[in-house]
């Protein structure tokens, strides 16, 4: 059978070359046919598509179909007889005199027909395969597309091409949607469909359905494309089409026009047999498909997974939480994850005049099935419309195009809400008056003790505030555990707006233990974000702002005044690539630092997580590399203080909601000195895998040591692999050694993370690897200085020297076996270390 298939393939190639040649002769008859037998094919005018009989995968059946040309493996775009395969090669498709396209088998039995017909005599009827992938039956004398007697574009299968329409005809009730193949071997309709919400008056969105169950919701339409693809940055290649939603009295449909020059590339959208919606791009010159978007990608893409009023956030653990102002419906459930019972209002609505809306930004807007859409309405009018109708629960403007108007009003539960790390939209949710005033009062709360209050006064206050804390904690209404979902911003309520104020950005504030304790719900385990090198970190809300509290280990041996001086110095370091220090707290033996909260957590939570690493595409990674370099330059040179970080690593690079990198923990090495009299091995300055040789061997640390760590970080960002745990099947080198091997072989691009293989800028990767290798040179003087690094990454000047073999210092095993000889673990050698130079100039 295989042999026969191969012969057939060969035959069809020969036929198709012949056809290409013959169709080029007379442009009138391009891709026009009256009949085709199995073994013959028809090629569209510019050789984009081919029509003929084919056998999918390991199947033995034959199907009439249209597939892409210029692909290395056959990619079928449309199948005629999906459900009625031919069992042999006897099929013939022909056009009859009425315009009916029929497929018959060897016995003349009709297997499939287009059922199209036209009345009238003397019509020059033709079937033609167009360069768009559309097979049409038409009057050969007319080129107008409106006059097609029949077209395959009206009968989509699993593939959507620009020019197709998906939608509904309200007169006939006919709905057009995509249906997956049953398997790669079987084009008959599978379990999954991709359907639009085609109800008059409802706002458009897309569902991936398995039989009649919604699996994933894509959308709503944001004026450009269907949102729900948060995790890939819209670049020039995305979306690869311009989408239009056409709504008229009789029909409603979605159609697209390719953004690309179809002479060089072609895009398709398909629903795969296992229910993924994939958008991919074919570059003819490469003959390969690149998937540029795929959904669902993560847990939060499961439809309504957190239940009504729940909000899913992939950056949180657990993923599900309640929108602010809502709490778990079933208090006996440990979390709302997997529990579709979801959330309920903390305070019921009474439709009083004080009710208002809370602005949740960066959201996926809820299911529009229970929303009403008003065209041409401003956001303010939208708010008024929602407020005036007591059953309206939320509103939003779905249109993100500049100046784009429109108003969605939700009635009933808000379902399938999630937080997007980027490209989310603003959702305004109705809350009770007292809920809003609660928020108001928490931001009204008096500011922390102003910096400079003498510490003795603070100490006197300690006891009384601890007593007070007990009292207040009883009264403190325990809010829903995960109510920080969606980063609520100020509400539209004017009263609230005017009263909301941010913590001062210029000066660092001193907060009391009570305030910090309240802000973090008494350092509850639920609010714990993680454990850093210097102690645990908690999430909290202080004066209306989401914060991260670093609770320093109690054993740090520095005096209070000295500590405070350091904090004030470090707080002056402000740069967009540094995490901002907002305040601190010293009370008893507690020392805490209060930072702005970074919703996307740290770089390592993306980079080294198999399921999340693909969320960081190459442009983002490159942007992150450049941002870290700029932050470092500021620390090393541009700030008033010169600070050596001493513990630069992926875990210390935080990502804000736009995925901009921010260096954290700078200055800490200085702030918390080791207690020099005790041999305290609790804390390691520097992290295995990032430690430069001069520090590990001689205990010397300088700006160039940070450069070394930066180099490791760059190679990790490019490769998505940890230096420390890197293994390669061919050799024992660590990541640096591996990068060096590839570099020497001129194969630096091969270092790139497998999950980026589909799309990256080769020149940027090569440049990054080069810079990374220069930074990890063994000799300090061979490493570039910080301005040079920034310059090289900014594309200024050429890359100067070629890197030499990098410092292959310390695969993990070596460190373990020689621990006691390493100064980094013995306190006595700390005297010899050039510590961070913090000299207030």
Ligand X SMILES: *[C@@H]1O[C@H](CO)[C@@H](O)[C@H](O)[C@H]1NC(C)=O
Residues near ligand X (CB under 6 A): 34-35, 47, 69-70, 87-88, 90, 94, 98, 100, 102, 105-107, 109-110, 113-115, 117, 122, 124, 141, 261, 263-264, 284, 330, 332-333, 337-338, 359, 361, 372, 376, 389, 391, 411, 426, 489, 492
CB of 77 to ligand X, least distance (A): 15
Joined tokens for residue 725: 């745990």
DSSP 576: T
Q: Which is nearest to 259 in space by CA: 244, 272, 242?
A: 242
Q: Give how far Cα 167 sits from Cα of 33, 146, 248, Å.
A: 30, 17, 11
Name the residue nearer to ligand X (CB basis): 46 or 819.
46
N-terminal to C-terminal alpha carbon distance within the chain: 83
CB of 812 to ligand X, least distance (A): 31
Name the residue nearer to ligand X (CB basis): 35 or 834.
35
Place of tokens 């402000």: 574
Tell whether the torsion through CA atoms of 819, 820, 821 and 823 is positive or negative: positive
Q: Which is nearest to 621 in space by CA: 752, 758, 430, 725?
A: 752
CB of 123 to ligand X, least distance (A): 6
Cis before 318? omega within 30: yes
Cβ 289 vs Cβ 280: under 8 Å: yes
CB of 651 to ligand X, least distance (A): 25
Name the residue nearer to ligand X (CB basis): 106 or 504.
106
**Virtual CA dihedral for 467, 469, 475, 481, nearest 10 degrees?**
-150
Name the residue nearer to ligand X (CB basis): 284 or 523.
284
DSSP 97: T
Q: Which is nearest to 366 in space by CA: 332, 404, 402, 326?
A: 326
Name the residue nearer to ligand X (CB basis): 489 or 782.
489
Name the residue nearer to ligand X (CB basis): 428 or 740.
428
H helices, E strands: number in the chain? 16, 43
CB of 488 to ligand X, least distance (A): 9
Cβ 112 vs Cβ 104: under 8 Å: no
Give 277-292 as a DSSP string.
EEEEEEETTTTEEEEE
Strands of 76-79's sheet in order across: 41-43, 49-54, 63-68, 76-79
- How many CA atoms, within 13 angstroms, populate the side-chain half-sphere of residue 747? 7
Name the residue nearer to ligand X (CB basis): 212 or 388.
388
Whole-number Å distance between alpha carbons of 195 and 249: 20
For residue 268, give the H/E element and its range. Answer: strand 265-271
Name the residue nearer to ligand X (CB basis): 302 or 719.
302
Q: Which residue is nearest to ligand X (CB)?
A: 106
Q: Which residues pair with 247 in a beta bridge?
A: 252
CB of 790 to ligand X, least distance (A): 30
* Burial of 272 (C-beta count, 10 Å sphere; 0-12/13-18/19+): middle
CB of 643 to ligand X, least distance (A): 31
Name the residue nearer to ligand X (CB basis): 109 or 841.
109
CB of 682 to ligand X, least distance (A): 35
Joined tokens for residue 812: 């993990």
Tell whether the torsion through CA atoms of 540, 541, 542 and 547 is positive or negative: positive
CB of 603 to ligand X, least distance (A): 24
Let me know if 647 is a catalytic residue.
Answer: yes
Catalytic residue among 38, 337, 521, 647: 647
Cβ neighbors of 492 (< 8 A, separation 6 or more) are 356, 357, 359, 383, 428
Compute φ and ψ for 169, nearest 5 degrees.
-100, 115
Catalytic residues, by residue number, are 647
């Amino acid at each position: 059978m295989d042999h026969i298939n191969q012969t057939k393939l060969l035959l069809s190639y020969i036929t198709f070359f012949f056809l290409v040649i013959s169709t080029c002769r007379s442009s009138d008859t391009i891709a026009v046919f009256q009949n085709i037998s199995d073994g013959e094919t028809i090629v569209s005018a510019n050789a984009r598509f081919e029509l003929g009989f084919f056998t999918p995968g390991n199947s033995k059946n034959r199907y009439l179909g249209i597939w892409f040309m210029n692909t290395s493996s056959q990619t079928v775009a449309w199948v005629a007889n999906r459900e009625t395969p031919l069992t042999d090669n006897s099929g013939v498709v022909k056009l009859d005199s009425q315009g009916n396209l029929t497929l018959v088998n060897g016995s003349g039995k009709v297997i499939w027909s287009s059922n199209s017909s036209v009345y009238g005599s003397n019509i020059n009827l033709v079937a033609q395969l167009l360069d768009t992938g559309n097979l049409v039956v038409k009057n050969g004398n007319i080129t107008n597309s409106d006059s097609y007697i029949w077209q395959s574009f009206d009968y989509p299968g699993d593939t959507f091409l620009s020019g197709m329409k998906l939608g509904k005809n309200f007169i006939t009730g006919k709905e057009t949607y995509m249906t997956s193949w049953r398997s790669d071997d079987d084009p008959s309709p599978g379990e999954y469909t991709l359907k639009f919400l085609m109800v008059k008056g409802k706002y458009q969105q897309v569902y991936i359905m398995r039989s009649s169950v919604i699996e994933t919701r894509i959308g709503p339409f944001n004026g450009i494309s269907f949102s729900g693809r948060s995790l890939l940055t819209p670049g020039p290649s995305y979306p690869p089409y311009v989408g239009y939603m056409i709504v008229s009295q009789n029909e409603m449909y979605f159609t697209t026009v390719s953004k690309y020059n179809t002479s060089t590339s072609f895009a398709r959208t398909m629903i795969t047999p296992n229910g993924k919606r994939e958008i991919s791009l074919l570059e003819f010159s490469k003959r390969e498909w690149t998937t540029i978007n795929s959904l669902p990608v993560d847990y939060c893409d499961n439809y309504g997974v957190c239940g009504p009023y729940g909000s899913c956030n992939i950056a949180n653990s657990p993923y599900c939480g309640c929108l602010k102002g809502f709490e778990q419906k079933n208090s006996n459930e440990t979390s709302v994850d997997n529990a579709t019972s979801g959330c309920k209002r903390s305070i019921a609505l009474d439709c009083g005049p004080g009710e208002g809306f809370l602005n949740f930004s960066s959201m996926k807007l809820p299911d529009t099935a229970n929303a009403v859409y008003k065209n041409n309405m401003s956001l303010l009018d939208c708010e008024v419309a929602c407020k005036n109708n007591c059953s309206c629960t939320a509103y939003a403007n779905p249109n993100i195009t500049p100046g784009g108007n429109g108003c969605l009003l939700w009635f009933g539960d808000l379902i399938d809400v999630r937080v997007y790390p980027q490209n989310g939209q603003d959702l305004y949710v109705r809350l009770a008056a007292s809920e809003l005033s609660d928020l108001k009062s928490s931001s009204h709360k008096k500011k922390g003790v102003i910096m400079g209050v003498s510490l003795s006064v603070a100490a006197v206050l300690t006891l009384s505030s601890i007593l007070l804390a007990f009292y207040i904690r009883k009264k403190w209404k325990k809010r829903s555990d995960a109510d920080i979902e969606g980063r609520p911003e100020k509400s539209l309520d004017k009263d609230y707006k005017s009263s909301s104020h941010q913590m001062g950005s210029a000066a660092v504030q001193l907060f009391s233990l009570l305030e910090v304790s309240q802000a973090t719900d008494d350092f509850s385990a639920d609010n714990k974000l993680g454990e850093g090198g210097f102690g645990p970190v908690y999430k909290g809300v202080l004066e209306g702002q989401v914060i991260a509290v670093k609770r320093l280990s109690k054993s740090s041996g520095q005096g209070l005044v000295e500590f405070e001086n350091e904090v004030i110095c470090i707080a002056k370091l402000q740069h967009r690539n540094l995490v901002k220090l907002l305040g601190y707290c010293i009370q008893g033996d507690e020392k805490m630092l209060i930072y702005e909260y970074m919703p996307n957590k740290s770089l390592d939570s993306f980079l080294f997580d198999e399921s999340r690493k693909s969320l960081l595409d190459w442009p983002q990674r490159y942007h992150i590399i450049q941002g870290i370099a700029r932050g470092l330059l500021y620390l090393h040179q541009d700030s008033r203080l010169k600070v050596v970080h001493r513990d630069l690593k992926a875990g210390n690079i935080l990502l804000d909601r736009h995925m901009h990198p921010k260096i954290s923990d700078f200055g800490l090495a200085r702030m918390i000195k080791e207690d020099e009299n005790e041999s305290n091995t609790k804390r390691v300055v520097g992290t295995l895998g990032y430690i430069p040789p001069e520090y590990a061997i001689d205990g010397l640390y300088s700006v160039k040591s940070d450069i070394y760590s930066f180099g490791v970080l760059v190679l990790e960002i490019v490769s998505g692999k940890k230096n420390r745990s890197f293994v390669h099947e061919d050799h024992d080198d660590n990541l640096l050694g591996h990068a060096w091997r590839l570099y020497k072989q001129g194969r630096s691009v091969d270092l790139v993370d497998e999950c980026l293989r589909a799309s990256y800028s080769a020149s940027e990767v090569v440049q990054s690897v080069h810079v990374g290798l220069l930074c990890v040179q063994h000799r300090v003087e061979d490493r570039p200085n910080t301005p040079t690094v920034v310059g090289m990454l900014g594309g200024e000047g050429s890359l100067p020297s070629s890197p030499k073999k990098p410092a292959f210092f310390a695969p993990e095993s070596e460190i373990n076996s020689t621990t006691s000889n390493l100064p980094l673990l013995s306190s006595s050698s700390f005297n010899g270390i050039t510590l961070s130079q913090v000299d207030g100039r």
